[in-house]
Structures are given as structure tokens and as C-alpha cells.
Amino acid sequence: MPAQLVEGNSAVIVGAMYAGCDCFFGYPITPASEILQEASKYFPMIGRKFVQAESEEAAINMVYGAAAAGHRVLAASSGPGMSLKQEGISYIAGAELPCVIVDIVRAGPGLGNIGPEQSDYNQAVKGGGHGSYKNIVLAPNSVQEMCDFTIKAFDLAFKYRNPVVILADGVLGHMIEPLEFPKTAIEHHIDTSWAVAGNEATMKNLVTSIALDFNELEQHNVKLQAKYDRIQENEVEREEYRTEDADVILVSYGISSRIANSAVDAARKEGIKAGLFRPITLFPFPWDELKALADRGCSFISVEMSNGQMRDDIRLATGCKDVALVSRYGGNLIERDQILDMIREVA
Amino acid sequence: MAAKEKVIGPAGFYSIFERKGGAAPTATHYCPGCGHGILHKIIADTMMDLGIQDRCVLMSPVGCSVFAYYYIDCGHVQTAHGRAPAIATGISRAEDDAILISYQGDGDLASIGLNETVQAANRGEKITIFFVNNTVYGMTGGQMAPTTLVGEVTATTPNGRDPRDAGYPIHMCELLDTLKAPVYIERVSLSNINHIRKARRAVRRALEIQRDKKGYAFVEFLSPCPTILRMDAKGIERFINEEMEREFPLKRFRDRSVEAEPIERRESDFSKASLDKAFGVSASDSIEVVTNPEFVPKGVKISGFGGQGVLSMGLALAQAAYKAGRFVSWYPDYGPEQRGGTSNCSIVISGEQIGSPVVDEPDVLVAFNRPSLDKFATDVKKGGLILYDALAGAFKPPEGVRAIPVPATDIALGKGVEQAANTAMFGALMEAGNLGLPGEAFGRALERTFAKKPKLIPLNLEILETGAKSVR
Ligand SMILES: Cc1ncc(C[n+]2csc(CCOP(=O)(O)OP(=O)(O)O)c2C)c(N)n1
Ligand code: SF4
């Protein structure tokens, strides 16, 4: 397969464009800016649409507009920019519009710094804006997956008419690895049953998230929750490594999962039966799959660059209160030996 | 029964407000005497008159007109507070033929959405903005708006707007008139039949501009809100004609509709062939990465001042490893010093899937300057190697680590290209790095690095070789 060495942020643009993404709207912020820059280079090259918006709020609302018109549209940001987008994402979820949003998570809170963290877990996975809604959240851990998951994200976004967040981080955004280019390109198609595209076929349609009548809005929410249940039922994805006979299970996603993978190998060399459970979808979270491991009597360690945000979900899934946490903050990556120490302690 | 109650109004206006539902399907949700109702009818009428109904998409804002979609028979998108111009931008970019009508109140447009308002105007988006200025926030119960007159009593200016606390009314037409891109800007009034006639002409002009795809049009309407202002029909007419007009004079600020050229955007291309071409995808790039657990992974760290080609040398190394069928990752390290002029990157070369792409304990450190040596030399693994530019001066490596000075800068200067010190260093790495990569992979990587400047390839290959020789 044709492959090149490509940066993670560029791989997002490759994936998006082969997935038929027609519009990109963004605002610069490190470490996500390369996505914006690559979009500014490649989108116009083949007539696709690019606007550097005046703010992340404006950008996400341009996304809302293009999505309302039925087009495939991408946004990317980080840290404070993601916070600003939350109002718009809530509207997108409420109006049931499909779109893909890439979060190249940086260290927070506040202005923080431009180093990697995974501290937007709750924001992305639990909703993030106002109201009872959920994003579908995919967590890549390689440059290849930055591309492939972007393609997958568009499929899911349109299948469920829901925002999909690619939750990555500063390392995945900036690292370079070989990328196999997509084998197919998706053609543009507008679903005239709901889009508002400024033509006769869609003239009677309405995109909105308001329902003044309490019962009507309640019904809308019930419908949304049923959709999230369907997603939970059908779309869970995870990867397991050496878990078959493991006593200690590392749970980790994104860049941390790669370091955890190395820690598993190192622990095995010491004769400790360690394994890695890597959620690929963070919503839907792999509740049942983790529960199955808990039922076998495994111990769990959450490996994440945040304050145990995912650990809360592991606790819920496994029913174990004493899930250990290996974490770093502030832009520092977790080190393999830090994980190894905890494995030894728990084993 | 409903049929008998049909609203007699313009075509382009629903005759029964089905989306509204409720007991009175032909009553609007606006107060009697409200300017919104008047303007809705003008828009519906003009839309039909110009034959553009199917192309029209109306943005309903947050405000009293949030339900504009009950009434006007076209495509509708309900928007977040103040964001309508951004949403319209999104639709307009996606659908070049769509006619976007952004319908906004003064709080929506001039307060929370001021940035979107100004920026969409400045980009010259193909949007018509209909700006309803009633000097108050209607929907939320009559609080101060950016356009509230000095001295005007509102729910949040109980003693009248005091400019010392609350500033002065914002003049949107005047403000936007400072921008270059807008095609049309006019302020009209909805206070009485004479004014409404002129307002109708302004709506028509603005929508003609959209029909002809000529760009941005902005019409401000001084509009009655008798409910919040607690005035009767006569009172509100007087308020608009005298007090509002004094602050907001009616005027056509510009009309460049004749000279403006239509804006036509290219159609998007979705073909795989075009994508492959854009990204330079070619079968010759295909390489078989082989899993080989026997291969001992190598971590390389390259560090120096910005401008010394640290990152590009790292990329060339990654390229060489990739060409040799290895798993490889390249990662530019962050750090507080990033802006201070030094930069470094990590390259991991492996026979298996790579874990962390960050190299904390390098097998090989390449240091282009003294600070890099001082910072990273102690991290190098026992049995590891340090290659450093000889200009960094005398240096004693840590126990069990070999250090080789490389006259990289001198070699590059000798060939007349100071920037090529990294190529000389690359040669030294090829020779002494013990990275388990064949020499020709380094040459091929260089060729790839200079693919866009092929003239530089022979010289760089020569410098590569000289660098290698210098440590032989
Ligand atoms: C982010 C946000 N802040 C506040 C509100 C509450 N809100 C609803 S309507 C409105 C004022 C609208 O006033 P204006 O734009 O003047 O329109 P009018 O109601 O007068 O037609 C406000 C503040 C909101 N919906 N969203
Ligand atoms: S409150 Fe004012 S703006 Fe709102 S509907 Fe009533 S009259 Fe119109």
C-alpha cells in the first residue's frame, strides 16, 4: 500500500478529505494548528471549502451551518478553544447534526501549556456543554488511526446524526509515523430528508434545537437517550493485549496506551501477568467488556494523563473502588517505569 | 375549519402556522404592533416576487424572532444567540447557490454576536443581514440593549441609560460602513406606512444582491416594540420617528450592487484521483515494514539551536529507517525552552510496534551545540554514543558513554553551505551510529528530503560522505 511518513495532525486532514469532508472551519491553537494549516493548503486545492474563523465559537457555528446543509464538515481545536466550542456542540447535538471535531488535548486548566494531556476526557465523553447529550468519542493511538478514525468518525456521525469527537493529544498530533493512505474516497451526498441546503428539495426542512413545550422537549430528550443506547449497544470498540491470563489489567487510551503496552511487556518479562485493555470508543465506553475482566478477579490500573477522569468510569464498570491510578500532568508523558512500579505494587 | 381561518398574507407566508401548533394556528406569537411581524411579511413577499423562495434559508436568531420559521415558507435554521452570521457563513460556503438571510435583534447582533457580525461583513460573505433595532432585549423582558438610547428606562437601567456606567448606543450601520467588503448598507424604519414602503425597497435591494450572488448586504430596521416600551401605537411611532431617528439617522450608507462582481465558488472535487494527486500518493512510496522482534530498538535524540536543521535531520533519519523497513516514529519534544531557540526531537527505530515515541534515555545523542550536550549527555544509556559538533569545545562524556566530535559545521562551511551541517552530522550518524540501517537508506532519505530542490542533492550527498569519513 502507498504510504508516507506523516504527522498526526496532517493524517486527520488526509482521513477527512478521503472521507468526503467538504468544509473546514478553524481557529489557530497549538498543538492543533497544523490541522488548520493543512486544511488551508489541501481543501482549496480541490475546491473544498476552508475558512479561518474569527474564534472557536464562530468556527463551531460555521460547522453547524455546513452540517445543517448536509455536508461533511470538520473542526479541530484544543484546550481553551474546545471550551469555547461547547455551546455550539450542544446545539449540534440538540439539532442532531453530524460533524467531526478533533480535540488535540493540551495541558490545562486555564491557559495551561501546549504540552500533551488527556484532561478533556470528561468534557468530551460526558457531553461538555449544557444539556443531556453525548458525543461519540474515538481515541486513536497512532498516526494511522488519526486518519482511519477520522474516516470512521464521519461514518458514525452520519449514521447517528451526532457529533463525533476524536480525542487525541499533543503527542499524537505532532508525531510522525508511516501512514497508509485510504484506498477509497467517499463521494458527496446530501440527505434531503433533513438537510437545509437552500434548494427546492430541502425547502420544507427545519434545523432547530428549541422546543418551548416541556413535553415536546422531553420527548426529544427521550429520543436522544434512545439513540445513545443504540450507540452503546452497537458501537463499542476496544483492543486487548495479553489479557487472556492477566491478573493486573492496565486500562489506557490514546498515547498513554502505547506506553502502557511497553509496560505490559516489561512486567511479563518479570513474570507478572499483566495485560492492557484499551478503550477505542470512550463513548460508548466498554462497560461490559471491563466487567467481564473484573468478574475474573483482575486488579485494575488506570493509566491516563489526567486526574483519574477515566478511572471513575473504570470504577463504575468494574465495581472495584480501589482502581489504581498512574498519571502525569502539565505536559509530561507517563513513563514506562512509573507504570511498571505500580504494576509491581498491585500484583 | 382551519382553511376558513387562513391568513390573508403574501405568498411565501404559511397560511397556517403548523410548526407553532397550539389552539390558535393562525395567530402569530408576536405582540400586536410589533415590528417583527411587519418585517416577516415584507421578506416573504419579496422572496416570492424575486422568485428565490427555493434558494432561501433563513436564520432564526435567539430573541423574539426565534420562531421566524413558523411563518416564512423557505428553508430554516435556528441558531445560537449571536452566531447567525457564522452559521450562515457555513451554509453559504457549503452551498454556493443558497441565499442566506440572517435575521437578528439588537442584543443578538450588536452585543453577544458583535464579533460574528463584524467578521462576516468584513469577509464579504454572501449573506443578507436584517437587523431589527428596537432598543431593548424583547424576549428576556426588556433589559438594556447596545442600542438603548441615553436616558431610556429598561429593566436593567431603571433610572435610564447612564453613559457613565453603560456607555452610548452603538451605531451598527456606521460601524460596518468603515469596512471595505460590504456591498450594501442601509438604515430604514418600520414606524409607519411611508417608512415601511422605503423599508420594502431596501429589503428588495438586499435580496437582489443575494439573488445575483454579489455579496454582503446589511439593512437595519428601527422597529417598534410597544410591549416592552409600554407605548401605544401613536407613542411608539413618535418614539421611533423622533427619538430613535435622532440617534440613528435613516440613510443609505452605500450601494455598490451595480459595480460588485458576482462571487462564484468552485465546485468541490471528491474524486480519489484528485486526492491522490494532491497528497502525492504514489505506489513507489509503498514499503513493507517487517516485524523483527530480534532487532533491538534504538532511541535517538537530536538537539540544537533552531535553524540548525535539528528537526529535519530527525525526519531524514526517520525516512531512512522507514525506507529500511523498520517501524519508526519521530516526535518534536516540547519544553519551556521551545521558544528560547533550542529544539530537539526523538526518533525511535524498532522491529516492532513502538510504544512511547519520546526518547528519555537515548542510545544515540546528536548534539549541535554546547547547551544540548550539557542538558542531555547524562541521559544517554550506558554503552551509548554521543555525536557532537566539534565547535562545542572540549567535552568529557559520562562513564560508559562514547563521545565523538564531528566537524560538522566546518565541513559545511568548507562546501560553502553553512546550513548543511546537519547533512554532515547525518553522515557521521550513518557511519558511527550503529543503528542497524543500511548506508544507502541514508542517501535515499536525503534524496527524498531534497525532492523539491533536486539541484541540491549531489552536493548534499557529497557532504554526507565527508561527514561519514570524518568519523571513520
Ligand atoms: C448564550 C445566551 N445568553 C443569553 C440568552 C438569553 N436570551 C434570549 S433572547 C435574549 C435577548 C435578545 O434580544 P434581541 O436580540 O434584542 O432580540 P428581541 O428579543 O428584542 O427581538 C437573550 C439575552 C441565550 N439564549 N443564550
Ligand atoms: S416583546 Fe417587543 S419585540 Fe418581542 S414580540 Fe413583543 S413587541 Fe415584538
Contacts of B44 in chain A (CB under 8 A): none
Contacts of B407 (CB under 8 A, 6+ apart): B389, B390, B424, B470
Report how far residue B109's alpha carbon sits from residue B85's, in angstroms, rounded to the nearest whole number.
Answer: 9
Q: Looking at this protein, which amino acid is placed at residue B368?
A: F
Share of chain B above pLDDT 90, in %: 86
Contacts of A258 in chain B (CB under 8 A): 353-357
Residue with the smallest CA separation from ligand 2 atom 6 is B31
Q: In a 3-state reduction of DSSP, which class is residue B97?
A: coil
B93 interface with A at CB cutoff 8 Å = yes
Report how far residue B179's alpha carbon sits from residue A228's, in angstroms, rounded to the nearest whole number.
Answer: 46
Give Cα separations from A134 to A65, A137, A314, B198 (angstroms).
20, 9, 18, 48
Q: Is the pLDDT of residue B253 over 70?
A: yes
ipTM of the complex: 0.97
Nearest-CB residue to A208 (from B56, B78, B283): B78
Report how far residue A283's alpha carbon sits from residue B258's, in angstroms, rounded to the nearest whole number.
Answer: 54
Q: In a 3-state reduction of DSSP, which class is residue A136?
A: strand
Q: Closest ligand to A210 CA?
A: 1
Q: What are the pocket residues of ligand 1 if the criterion is a CB atom closer than 6 Å to any ligand atom? A: B 62-65, 81, 105-108, 132, 134, 136-140, 145
Q: Closest ligand to B190 CA?
A: 2
Specify the pairing of strand B99-105 against strand B217-222: unpaired
Nearest-CB residue to A188 (from B80, B268, B355): B268
Put simply, the answer to whether B99 touches A198 (Cβ < 8 Å) is yes
Looking at chain A, the number of H-run helices and the number of E-run strands are 12, 16
Residue with the three cell numbers 541540491 = B456
Which strand (E) or helix (H) includes residue B39?
helix B35-49
What residue of B is the nearest CA neighbor of A258? Answer: B355
Average pLDDT over every residue of B288-293: 88
Alpha helices by DSSP H, listed for B330-456, are 370-376, 408-414, 421-432, 439-449
Q: A294 CA to chain B: closest CA distance, Å?
A: 26
pLDDT in tens, chain A (347 residues): 678 999 999 999 999 999 999 999 999 999 999 999 999 999 999 999 999 999 999 999 999 999 999 999 999 999 999 999 999 999 999 999 999 999 999 999 999 999 999 999 999 999 999 999 999 999 999 999 999 999 999 999 999 999 999 999 999 999 999 999 999 999 999 999 999 999 999 999 999 999 999 999 999 999 999 999 999 999 999 999 999 999 999 999 999 999 999 999 999 999 999 999 999 999 999 999 999 999 999 999 999 999 999 999 999 999 998 999 999 999 999 999 999 999 999 99
Nearest CA to B354 out of B298, B393, B312, B401 is that of B298
Residue B28 banded pLDDT, cuts 50, 70, 90? confident
Measure the CA dihedral A313/A317/A318/A323, to 10°.
Answer: 0
**Residue B167 contacts residue B248 (beta carbons within 8 Å):** no
What is the DSSP code string of B159-223? T-B-HHHH-----HHHHHTT-SS-SEEEEEE-SSHHHHHHHHHHHHHHHHHHHTT---EEEEEE-
**Residue A124 contacts residue A167 (beta carbons within 8 Å):** yes
Put simply, the answer to whether B356 touches A210 (Cβ < 8 Å) is no
Put simply, the answer to whether A49 touches B123 (Cβ < 8 Å) is no
pLDDT tens digits, residue range B334-358?
555 445 577 899 999 999 999 889 8
Average pLDDT over every residue of B108-133: 98
Specify the pairing of strand A136-138 against strand A163-169: parallel
Contacts of A1 in chain B (CB under 8 A): 286
Query: Which positions 43-82 of B are in contact with A (Cβ < 8 Å)?
Result: 53-57, 60, 66, 69, 73-80
Put simply, the answer to whether B94 touches A66 (Cβ < 8 Å) is yes
Query: What is the SS3 assignment for A22-62?
Result: CEEEECCCCCCHHHHHHHHHHHHHCCCEEEECCCHHHHHHH
Put simply, the answer to whether B88 touches A88 (Cβ < 8 Å) is no
Q: In a 3-state reduction of DSSP, which class is residue B17?
A: coil
- The per-residue pLDDT for B1 is 40
Q: Closest ligand to B108 CA?
A: 1
Nearest-CB residue to B75 (from A63, A205, A209): A205
pLDDT tens digits, residue range B47-79?
999 999 999 999 999 999 998 999 999 999 999
Q: What is the DSSP letter of B319?
A: H
**Residue A171 contacts residue B69 (beta carbons within 8 Å):** no
Nine cell digits for residue B312: 529535519
The sign of the torsion formed by the CA atoms of B230, B232, B234, B240 equals positive
**Which ligand 1 atom minimizes the distance to the CA of B65?**
21
Q: What are the pocket residues of ligand 2 if the criterion is a CB atom closer than 6 Å to any ligand atom? A: B 30-31, 34, 36, 64, 134, 138, 225-228
What residue of B is the nearest CA neighbor of A333? Answer: B358
- The per-residue pLDDT for B19 is 87
Contacts of A196 (CB under 8 A, 6+ apart): A68, A69, A70, A202, A205, A206, A207, B57, B75, B76, B77, B91
CA diameter of chain B: 100
Chain B interface test: which of A56, A87, A151, A208 (most B C-beta within 10 Å): A208
Report how far residue A144's alpha carbon sits from residue A304's, in angstroms, rounded to the nearest whole number.
Answer: 21
Q: Closest ligand to B32 CA?
A: 2
- The per-residue pLDDT for B335 is 55
Q: Looking at this protein, which amino acid is placed at residue B272?
A: K
Contacts of B178 (CB under 8 A, 6+ apart): none
Ligand 1 probe mutation, B62, B64, B134, most atoms within 8 A of CB: B62
Nearest-CB residue to A1 (from B280, B286, B315): B286
Nearest CA to A288 out of A246, A235, A331 is that of A235
- The per-residue pLDDT for B334 is 58
Give Cα separations from B277 to A46, A295, B281, B317 (angstroms).
10, 52, 6, 26
B313 interface with A at CB cutoff 8 Å = no
B418 interface with A at CB cutoff 8 Å = no
- The per-residue pLDDT for A1 is 63
Q: Which residue has the higher pLDDT, B278 or B308?
A: B278
Chain A interface test: which of B83, B96, B264 (most A C-beta within 10 Å): B83
Report how far residue B128's alpha carbon sits from residue B248's, in angstroms, rounded to the nearest whole number.
Answer: 20
At residue B283, what are phi and psi to the nearest 5 degrees? -60, -25
Beta-bridge partners for B157 = B154
Report how far residue B102's alpha carbon sits from residue A245's, in angstroms, rounded to the nearest whole number.
Answer: 61
Nearest CA to B220 out of B243, B252, B242 is that of B252
Put simply, the answer to whether A185 touches B275 (Cβ < 8 Å) is yes
Q: Is the pLDDT of residue B3 over 50?
A: no
Residue with the smallest CA separation from ligand 2 atom 8 is B34
Q: Looking at this protein, which amino acid is placed at residue A130?
A: H
Mean pLDDT of chain B: 94
- The per-residue pLDDT for B10 is 75
Ligand 2 probe mutation, B30, B140, B221, most atoms within 8 A of CB: B30
Contacts of B287 in chain A (CB under 8 A): 3, 178
Residue B2 banded pLDDT, cuts 50, 70, 90? very low
Residue B7 banded pLDDT, cuts 50, 70, 90? low
Looking from the CA of B417 toward its CB, the CA atoms found within 13 Å total: 16
Contacts of A39 in chain B (CB under 8 A): none
What residue of B is the nearest CA neighbor of A10? Answer: B279
Distance of CA A321 to the CA centre of its chain: 26
Specify the pairing of strand A3-7 against strand A176-180: antiparallel
pTM of the model: 0.96
B357 interface with A at CB cutoff 8 Å = yes
- The per-residue pLDDT for B337 is 47
Residue B46 banded pLDDT, cuts 50, 70, 90? very high
